[in-house]
Amino acid sequence: METKYKILQNLLKEVTRRYDYLFEMKERLLKELAFQAMHDFQTGLYNYKAVFELGEREVKELKRGENKNLWVVFIDLDNFKQVNDNFGHKKGDEILKEFASFLKESFRDYDIVGRVGGDEFVVVLTNIDSDTLKRRLLSFKEEVRKKFKKFDITTSIGVSCSPSDGDDFDRLVTIADSRMYEAKKSGKDKISFGEEI
C-alpha cells in the first residue's frame, strides 16, 4: 500500500511539474506573440498598427484634457535606396537597425517611436512645447548627418500638431507625411513644421 502511495505521489509530482512547465511556456509564448504583434521584427520599434493604436489613444487623452498637445513627427531617410544599391541589402538592414536604435535613444522613454514603412518612421510626443521640439529635432537631424555621413544618409522630417492641425490621428499622420515630402522636395535634410506653428 505504501509503495502504491509513493508511486502515485511521484506521478502527481511529475504531472504537476510538467503542467507548471507547460503553463510557463504558454505564458512566455503569449508575451512573445503580443510583442511581435506590436513591434517591427527588423528594428524592434513599434510597427504601423501599434503606432496608430497608441497614437489614437494619445489623441483621446488630449481630448479629455490629460495632455496639452500632441506632435506627430514623420521621418524619412534620405538616400537610403543608394545604400541598398551600393552596399547591399544586408548593409541596409544594419543601418536601419542602427538608425532605429539611435532614434529611440533620441526621444523620451514614453514617446511613441515606430517604423511605419521601409525607411519611414513616426514619433508621437505629448506635452512638449514647440521650441523644445524644434531644438530636439534640429539636434537629431545634425547627429544623423554626422553618424551616417559615410553613407550620405540624412533625414527629411515633417511635423504636425494637435490641436492646431486637428484632432484625428490619421489626419495628423497624413499632414506630417505631406510636410516631410515638402522638406524632401526643398532639398532634403530639412524639417517642415507647416505654417500653423
Does residue 168 sit in helix, strand or coil? coil
Mean pLDDT within 101-118: 97
How many angstroms separate the CA atoms of 1 and 8, rounded? 11
pLDDT at 7 over 90: no
Pair 181, 159: CB distance under 8 Å: no
Bridge partners, 172 (sequence order): none
Closest CA to 46 of 131, 90, 103, 94: 103
For 32-66, what is each residue's pLDDT tens digit?
777 778 899 999 999 999 999 999 999 999 999 88
pLDDT at 11 over 80: no
- State the pLDDT confidence band at 1, using cuts at 50, 70 and 90: low
* pTM of the entire predicted model: 0.85
